[in-house]
Amino acid sequence: MKIESLIVQGIPAKNNENGAIVPPIYLASTYVQPSIEEHQTYAYGRGGNPTRNALEELISKIEGVDYGFAFASGMAATTTAFNLFKSGDKILVNSNVYGGTYRYLDTVFQQQELSYELVDDFNLLSEEDIDTTVKALFIETPSNPLLQVTDIQRLAAIAHQKGILIIVDNTFATPYLQKPFELGADIVLYSATKYLSGHADVIAGLLTVADSGLAARIKHLQNTLGNILSPFDSYSLIRGIKTLSVRMDRQEANTVKILAFLKEHEAIARLNYPGSASPEEAAIQKKKHVETVRSFQLN
């Protein structure tokens, strides 16, 4: 199935005795168990909810991996990923990262005995820049707000050589335009509040992973921190995602026209558009589009 078809069709509802064509909104907080010894899939809504799980399965399928998790905001997804690390660990982060992520690094990291280093241009990072305390590279690409792009594939090769994780905030490109797992990412996160939702009526975050060990740790954190997405917002996000590919195509087409206009405008000194800064950046951007997205097929 092509990614466009999966996006619009979504995931069929489970245990669907009425044949609903979309997953219903399950508001129940608590579920009856067959007996004191036997437990069924759902017990308590923080641990699992059928509507949220439908969204989680959808994003994992779109991403092409086995595990997805939905959170109450993009920041909840980001901070859950940071909770994977322990005292003494250091994370390298692109300096032009979203302000809310920077606020967490600046004000909360120290209390958790974690440290970070801001990297001006991840594309210039080499193995020698990664000391033994560094446990992950956190890359927001394209970055917010300057839309700088980072070569995930090159950094993933370096990170894996060093045995550290590569976390990609793929909020701005979305899984429609960029497939970080195919480029070597270990964790991909989203502020689904933006393009994935698409209608400015949901605050939500998503984490996706391919590795079952990492997935188990994230599931534990999601249940323990309790920063879950509500059933209604899960439903709204499933609905918003249905139009992702058509919205992104139209937005790109419109933006290319605006870009052409602004390029010729005498009042414009510099344009921030992914791939427009230099031939090198254009090559990175092209790689994301051509090699990954456009040829991407789901079984």
Ligand X SMILES: Cc1ncc(COP(=O)(O)O)c(C=O)c1O
Q: How far is the CB of 88 from ligand X (least distance, A)?
A: 25
Q: How far is the CB of 241 from ligand X (least distance, A)?
A: 15
Q: Which of 198, 205, 231, 240 binds ligand X (CB under 6 A)?
A: 205
Helix (H, G, I), strand (E, B) or coil at 175: helix
Q: How far is the CB of 193 from ligand X (least distance, A)?
A: 4
Q: Copy the structure tokens of residue 119.
A: 């990297």
DSSP notation for 24-62: -----SB---SSSS---S-SBTTT--HHHHHHHHHHHHH
* Residue 74 vs 231, nearer CB to ligand X: 74
Q: Which of 193, 234, 236, 245 binds ligand X (CB under 6 A)?
A: 193
Identify which range of 97-105, 130-138, 225-233, 260-268 contacts ligand X by CB under 6 A. Answer: 97-105
- Is residue 208 part of the contact set for ligand X (CB under 6 A)? no
- Is residue 233 part of the contact set for ligand X (CB under 6 A)? no
Q: How far is the CB of 202 from ligand X (least distance, A)?
A: 9
Report the number of secondary-structure helices (H) and strands (E) in the chain: 10, 7
- Within 86-155, strands assigned E span 90-94, 115-119, 134-140
- Which of 262-266's residues contact partners 24+ apart within 8 Å by CB, and which partners? none
- Is residue 100 part of the contact set for ligand X (CB under 6 A)? yes
Contact in structure between 224 and 184 (CB atoms under 8 Å): no
- Is residue 174 part of the contact set for ligand X (CB under 6 A)? no
* Residue 42 vs 138, nearer CB to ligand X: 138
Find where tokens 């437990």 sit.
39
* Residue 130 vs 207, nearer CB to ligand X: 207
Q: How far is the CB of 85 from ligand X (least distance, A)?
A: 18
- Is residue 45 part of the contact set for ligand X (CB under 6 A)? no
Q: Which of 79, 81, 72, 78 is nearest to 203 (CA)?
A: 72
Find where tokens 């440290």 sit.
115
Interacting residues toward ligand X by CB under 6 A: 73-75, 78, 98, 100-101, 140, 144, 169, 171, 191, 193, 203, 205
